[in-house]
Structure 1
Amino acid sequence: MPLLCLVVTGALIGLSVNLAKLAVAAGLGALPFLAWSVTGAAIVLSCILAVFGRLPPLNRQTVTYFFIAALISISVPQLILFASVSHVGAGFAVLSVAFPPLYTYAGALIMRMERFDTVRAGGMALAFGGVVVLAALKAAAPDAALGWVAATLFAPVLLAAGNIYRTLCWPAGARPDGLAPGMMAAAGVLLLAAGALPGFSLHVPFETAIPILLILGQMAAFSVQYLLFFVLQKYGGPVYLSLLGPVAAIVGVPIAVLLLGETPPPGLAVSAALIVSGIGIVTLRNMRAGRT
């Protein structure tokens, strides 16, 4: 189950970043695209889970959990990634999501949530090494937007922090599927509030149906993605969850290259081989240890 959730959720993340590039091309800003997609997905999930009576109770602990998790897991990092695609390309934005494994593993070791394991650490290092190669080559390009490159590389730090926080502060007795709509609703509130600030906008162009279709597509992707996201976090743990990034890179980069016409990043084949090898090593190690 964790491996299936990892593959499906990672693939949806890779798809989401590419949808963000299409949204920008259609005249839809990163903030309104993310805000309306997250809010819509939160409503869909809340309605579905309410029917089955699986929504978590709202109290000080859960509300605090939802808003902190939303801030560092969705609102800020996703907005950075969605806004960066027109400056660094969807391919590189997706690749940056592959950085959290090492950060999450280091954080889990510091917080004593994980015991050091040489084999797992080696797998993480392989996956991380593959992305480092691509990132270094991107930054070295003569036309690189270094400010956006730096911002894009900061998003994984927040994602890793979110991985740790959600596990450490998991509300007692909460079901994985019940936490998804709460975090997404909190993210929707934060993003809509940001759009109401001076200088920002939540405007959606209605000249064509494309922006609406893209928002609906992203809503569907978010609904499935974050529902499986918490299941994976519960049963795979924060470190295994962080491998979503490398999976997203494997799926998202070919989409950016083959469907959106982006130039393949230099060293892609070698980096992809390292990433796949790293994921395989960690997955097999987890299975043998009875973790998946």
Structure 2
Amino acid sequence: MKNRLTLMARSPMLLLVGSSFVFATKIMVAKAALSAGALPFQLAFVGNLGAGLLVFGLILRSGERIPTSRAHILLYLGLGIISFAAPTVLSYAVVDRVGPAYTSTVYALSPILTMSFAAGLGIERMYLRRFLGILIGLTGMLILVQQQFTQIDTDATLWVALGLLIPAFAAIGNVIRSKFWPAGTSALAFAGATLLTSSVLVLCMAPLFEDPRTWEFSLPVLWGWIALMIAVSAISYVLNFQLQKVAGPVVFSQIGYWGTGFGVVLAALLFGDVLTALSLIGLAAIICGGVIARRAAGKGHTAPT
């Protein structure tokens, strides 16, 4: 069992698949929790705080420590806003008003944005094969979700537009993490510190959009969904940071494609969305694109140490 976990921790492809599935699961759990009575900022705060405490417990057990220099704290704050607080709250608000399939779909724009930012800043080189792989994945995503666009409520146009900010924040966070990864900091410590920071930031932002006094905690069914959200969030962020550490920002950003695929499938299974033959073609294109881009990725990234 330990050998299998070690293999997964070092395999970008296995980490990509695992991270993407957990990412899609997180969106489904968020939809269920919001339907049960949770509010977006409430869910973001409790989910990130609980996940951060779980990860912090693992850090203490492993004997690691979270670096607390001024540079580290500034990085945690910046990432807490850009990579966690803003996209998390936006995704919870959008999933509640537009639906889980669309919310997982917008993340599919992050690979193109991440690749452009990373190449522009000289973090990773632009390979033709990688570019083609990402375009194939993007095509597969568009095929996969074409039926979803016809189902979007036109009354939610504002939230559809705001949803497009989610992949932009995700792409910027991807690049920042790779560019400024703290030397000698493990993925576990980095994830824990950023989760705890983001929960504080979400709590500070909450009164501007919601009244925390209206947050509902008395319903047993709601506590069940919140507990599940905390567990899924902790697993998600640990996998995400490990994937970024071993594979770089461009491969990491492909969670947008794979997560879209898993998200549409889970939405069909759990919320009654319809899968078609075109959906299966789209899934195949996403997988092929990811494999092609992954092969090219090995040439251009050196994991942080």
Same fold by TM-score greater than 0.5: yes
Alignment partners' CA distance in 2, 1:260 and 1:127:
25
Q: Give the Å deviation of 1:55.
A: 2.1
Q: Deviations over 1:2-45 (max 9, x none)?
A: 21211111111100111111011101111111110110111111
Aligned residue in 2 for 1:72? 82
Alignment of 1:120 with 2:130, yes or no, is yes
Decide which of 91, 99, 108 is 2:118's aligned counterpart.
108
1:51 to 61, 68, 71: 61
Cα distance change on mapping 1:203 and 1:11 into 2, 3 Å: farther
Structure 2 counterpart of 1:230: 241
Distance 2:285 2:26 in 1: 23
**Whole-Å Cα distance in 1 between the matches of residues 153 and 224 of structure 2?**
33
Mapped to 2, the partners of 1:265 and 1:33 lie a distance apart of 33
The change in CA–CA distance for 1:265 and 1:93 in structure 2 (over 3 A counts) is farther
**Contact between 1:31 and 1:191, CA under 8 Å: does it hold in 2?**
yes
> Is the deviation greater in 230-239 or in 256-265?
256-265
Kindly state the Cα deviation for residue 197 of structure 1 after the two structures are TM-superposed. 4.0
**Aligned counterparts of 1:73 and 1:132: Cα–Cα separation in 2:** 24
Quote the Cα distance in structure 2 between the aligned partners of 1:32 and 1:143.
25
1:12 equivalent among 15, 22, 43: 22
User: Which residue pairs with 1:98 in the alignment?
Assistant: 108
- Residue matched to 1:157: 168
On the 8 A contact 2:145/2:264 being kept in 1, the answer is: no
Corresponding residue of 1:183: 194
Q: Match for residue 273 of structure 1?
A: 284
Gaps of 5+ in 2: 1-10
Return the alpha-carbon distance in structure 2 between the equivalents of residues 185 and 153 of structure 1. 26
Distance 1:221 1:177 in 2: 15
Q: Secondary structure at the match of 2:93?
A: helix
Alignment of 1:199-278 (within 5 A): 199-201=210-212, 203-264=214-275, 267-278=278-289
2:270 paired with 1:283: no
Letter in 1 for 2:98: V
- Number of the residue aligned with 2:6: none
Using the TM superposition, give the Cα deviation of residue 251 of structure 1 relative to its aligned residue in structure 2, in angstroms.
Answer: 1.3
Normalised TM-score (structure 2): 0.88
Q: Contact 2:247–2:301 at 8 Å: present in 1 too? A: no
Q: 1:51-70 CA deviation, whole Å, 9 max, x = no partner?
A: 22212221111111111111
Contact 2:144 2:281 in 1 (8 A): no
Go from structure 1 to structure 2 and tell me whether the alpha carbon gap of 1:79 and 1:2 turns closer, same or farther (over 3 Å shift). same
The more displaced of 99-108 and 267-276 is 267-276
Shift of 1:97: 1.3
Opposite residue 151 of structure 1, the aligned amino acid is L
1:40 aligns with 2:74: no
Task: Assess if the C-alpha contact under 8 Å between 2:91 and 2:103 holds in 1.
Answer: yes
CA RMSD of aligned residues (A): 2.3
2 CA distance for matches of 1:251 and 1:38?
Answer: 22
The structure-2 alpha-carbon separation of the partners of 1:112 and 1:43, relative to structure 1 and needing over 3 Å to count, comes to: same
Contact 1:101 1:245 (C-alpha < 8 Å) held by counterparts: yes
User: In the aligned structure 2, how far is the partner of 1:225 from the partner of 1:71?
Assistant: 18
Query: 1:244 Cα deviation (Å)?
Result: 1.1
Offset at residue 138 of structure 1 (A): 4.8
Amino acid of the structure 1 residue aligned with 2:289 = G
212 and 142 in structure 1: CA distance in 2 versus 1, 3 angstrom threshold = closer
2:101–2:148 CA contact under 8 A, matched in 1: no
* CA-CA distance at 1:200 after TM superposition: 3.3
Q: Distance in 2 between matches of 1:284 and 1:76?
A: 32
- Displacement of 1:265 after TM fit? 8.6
Report the count of equivalent residues: 292
Query: Is the 2:144–2:261 contact (alpha carbons within 8 Å) kept by the matching residues of 1?
Result: no
Instruction: Return the TM-score normalized by structure 1.
Output: 0.91
SS for the counterpart of 2:232 is helix
Query: Unpaired segments of 5 or more residues in structure 1?
Result: none
Q: 2:110–2:168: 8 Å Cα contact kept in structure 1? A: yes
- Superposition deviation, residue 173 in structure 1: 2.2
Following the alignment from structure 1 to structure 2, what is the Cα–Cα distance between the partners of residues 208 and 189? 24
Which amino acid counterpart does residue 22 of structure 1 have in structure 2?
A
Runs of 4+ more than 6 Å apart: 288-292
